[in-house]
Amino acid sequence: NAVIDGHVNWRYGAAGIFAHLNVLKPGDVIIVRDDRGTRTSFVVRKSRLYGYRDDATDVFRSYDERSHLNLVTCAGIWDKVAKMYSKRLVVFADKVGR
């Protein structure tokens, strides 16, 4: 299992690596390539928004003995004082095959 987080945007509005994470929907395929070029496919199961202070333990756990990939980025409203977003978007995906 793996959790990968990435920015939704950068300073001055430049798009981050996960700028379009919010458009993924159940059934979409995510392909991850490792440093040796091996590709592993995952299918999106669901997306969920968490409040900044919500318990997100389920993002890091799995009890079904399968492999999963969870992608995390910021969402919600930008708080200029706290310098952070109010929510986190998590996309849950399951490995295709074994």
Please report which helix (H) or strand (E) contains residue 84, including its range: strand 84-95
Residues across the chain: 98
- What digits encode the pLDDT tens for the residues 67-81? 999 999 999 998 889
Q: pTM of this prediction?
A: 0.89
**Nearest residue to 51 via CA among 22, 83, 90, 87:** 87
pLDDT of 92 reads: 95
- What digits encode the pLDDT tens for the residues 20-61? 999 999 999 999 999 999 999 999 999 999 998 898 888 888
Band the pLDDT of 88: cuts 50, 70, 90: very high
pLDDT of 98 reads: 67
**Nearest residue to 69 via CA among 53, 46, 51, 52:** 46
Paired tokens of 21: 């994470």
Paired tokens of 22: 């919010």
